[in-house]
């Protein structure tokens, strides 16, 4: 099930909120769990039993980690938990990739290919895996005690607002809210506003950008002009940002309506002045996970050798790229960003600082956009063709654009750079990060949210084009 559908907006969500707010406190987590199982089953009924079964097994494994006083046993149980969760991810997400590459290697040396039945990919498996890892590792590190009820753990892992496409909610940041959270009317209203903002970003901006990007990227790349290549790249750059950040806004808003405080996942990444800053602003919860659960255990910034430091950075971003998808273009995309992070540490940040804010922002934005071309095109030959077209200098700017593209592109540009200015940051803080509002402000916000909701609903009902990029991750 997708947030930006009439099924979710007109039926699932209203019924859920009605039941959730009518039941007593002790039943609320169970209501979320049942709704989440129904939500997940709607899109992946064959896999819900795998997810539920492995989550229950993991719950009891982690209970034993917490209870045991023997160091070796605790390490063994942690290893089993990690192996089980990463094993599920490896099988469902990477088995096909491994067999395809193995068969290509065998064919190249004259051997027959292995027979293999392709494995279907459960939606949200990457986000599911990372949250289960934070639970077992945080309990092992004694950051927080485990949950007492298996149903509470299932609810934490399968919570429908964020299970499919994040943000990644680490256990230690939300553990107390699972068992004891306060729900006030301000939170419910502010959550509703945030949800409507995210829905509008997804439906009114990302979907239009997606149509333009698909028109170009799925066309004859060898025949497109330089201008078409640049427009396609720009359209996808805006699509992926407003699509993913819109989903995160909706997830954060839904969580707020239930009394949860999910972590922020984006902070105006396209105003970054270098790639290091970009990764502090883009998919923040993934970056924090990779830092705390991979980069720091590898040695982090504590290593004495610069070569080892750069190697650690590159490993982290190669794996970050592979996390996004089982395809070589994602690995290359991760290596590409890892390279610029290393260059940042060597000299690039110092150089960009000397060049000034405008130049450094435009340069970083260009590097990010080129990276999105690699991210978008799975075929390496297509990536090469597209990159050559970007700098072919044929000066042919005849472009086939979808209706309203240029108008929406201007809006997308405005909101992408909005917080680069002090007034923009103040407005963002007031709109998105308030704990409570005056009655007069609630009236204005409610009216604005309803307008966004209605316009978004009109757009949804008038079009069947409604992809979510990060659902496949």
Distance from C-alpha of 63 to C-alpha of 140, rounded to nearest angstrom: 10
Distance from C-alpha of 201 to C-alpha of 206, rounded to nearest angstrom: 6
- Token output for 251: 């997830």
Distance from C-alpha of 353 to C-alpha of 272, rounded to nearest angstrom: 12
215 and 400 Cβ atoms separated by less than 8 Å: yes
179 and 152 Cβ atoms separated by less than 8 Å: yes
65 and 143 Cβ atoms separated by less than 8 Å: no
Among the options 144, 283, 324, 442, which is catalytic? 324
266 and 283 Cβ atoms separated by less than 8 Å: yes
Q: Which residue bears the tokens 């004891």? A: 180
Q: Is 144 a catalytic residue?
A: no
Distance from C-alpha of 361 to C-alpha of 290, rounded to nearest angstrom: 25
Q: Which residue bears the tokens 């996390």? A: 323
473 and 322 Cβ atoms separated by less than 8 Å: no
Q: Which pairs with CB-CB distance under 8 Å and at least 24 residues apart come from 354-361?
A: 357/273, 360/273, 360/274, 361/271, 361/272, 361/273, 361/420
Phi-psi domain of 268 (left: phi exceeds 0; alpha: psi -120 through 50; beta: other): left
Residues acting as catalytic residues: 324
């Amino acid at each position: 099930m997708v947030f930006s559908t009439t099924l979710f907006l007109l039926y699932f969500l209203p019924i859920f909120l009605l039941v959730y707010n009518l039941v007593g406190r002790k039943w609320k987590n169970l209501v979320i769990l049942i709704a989440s199982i129904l939500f997940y089953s709607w899109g992946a009924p064959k896999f819900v039993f795998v997810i539920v079964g492995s989550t229950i097994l993991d719950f009891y494994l982690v209970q034993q980690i917490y209870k045991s006083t023997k160091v070796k046993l605790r390490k063994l149980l942690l290893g089993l938990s990690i192996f089980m969760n990463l094993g599920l991810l490896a099988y469902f997400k990477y088995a096909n990739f491994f067999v395809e590459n193995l068969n290509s290697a065998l064919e190249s040396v004259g051997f027959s290919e292995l027979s293999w039945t392709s494995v279907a990919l459960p939606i949200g498996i990457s986000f599911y895996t990372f949250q289960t890892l934070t639970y077992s590792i945080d309990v092992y590190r004694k950051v927080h005690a485990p949950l007492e009820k298996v149903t509470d753990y299932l609810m934490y892992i399968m919570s429908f607002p964020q299970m499919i496409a994040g943000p990644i909610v680490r256990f230690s940041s939300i553990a107390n809210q699972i068992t004891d959270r306060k729900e006030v009317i301000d939170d419910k209203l502010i959550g509703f506003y945030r949800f409507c903002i995210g829905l509008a970003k997804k439906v009114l901006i990302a979907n239009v950008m997606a149509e333009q990007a698909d028109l170009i990227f799925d066309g004859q790349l060898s025949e497109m002009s330089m201008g078409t290549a640049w427009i396609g790249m720009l359209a996808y750059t805006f699509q992926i940002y407003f699509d993913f950040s819109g989903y995160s806004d909706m997830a954060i808003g839904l969580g707020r309506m239930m009394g949860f405080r999910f972590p922020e996942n984006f902070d105006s990444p396209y105003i970054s002045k270098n790639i290091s800053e970009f990764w502090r602003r883009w998919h923040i919860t993934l970056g924090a996970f990779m830092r705390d659960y991979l980069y720091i255990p590898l040695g982090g910034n504590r290593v004495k050798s610069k070569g080892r430091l750069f190697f650690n950075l590159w490993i982290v971003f190669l794996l970050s790229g592979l996390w996004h998808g089982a395809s070589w273009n994602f690995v290359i995309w991760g290596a590409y960003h890892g390279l610029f992070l290393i260059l940042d540490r060597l000299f690039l940040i110092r150089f960009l600082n000397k060049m000034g804010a405008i130049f450094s922002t435009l340069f970083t934005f260009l590097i990010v956009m080129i990276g999105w071309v690699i991210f978008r095109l799975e075929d390496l030959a297509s990536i090469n063709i597209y990159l050559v077209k970007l700098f072919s200098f044929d000066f042919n700017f005849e472009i086939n654009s979808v209706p309203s593209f240029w108008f929406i592109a201007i809006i997308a540009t405005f909101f992408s750079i909005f917080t680069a200015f002090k007034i923009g940051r103040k407005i963002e803080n007031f709109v998105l990060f308030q704990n409570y509002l005056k009655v007069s402000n609630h009236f204005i916000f409610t009216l604005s949210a309803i307008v966004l909701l209605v316009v978004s609903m009109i757009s949804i009902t008038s079009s069947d084009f409604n992809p979510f990029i990060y659902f496949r991750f």
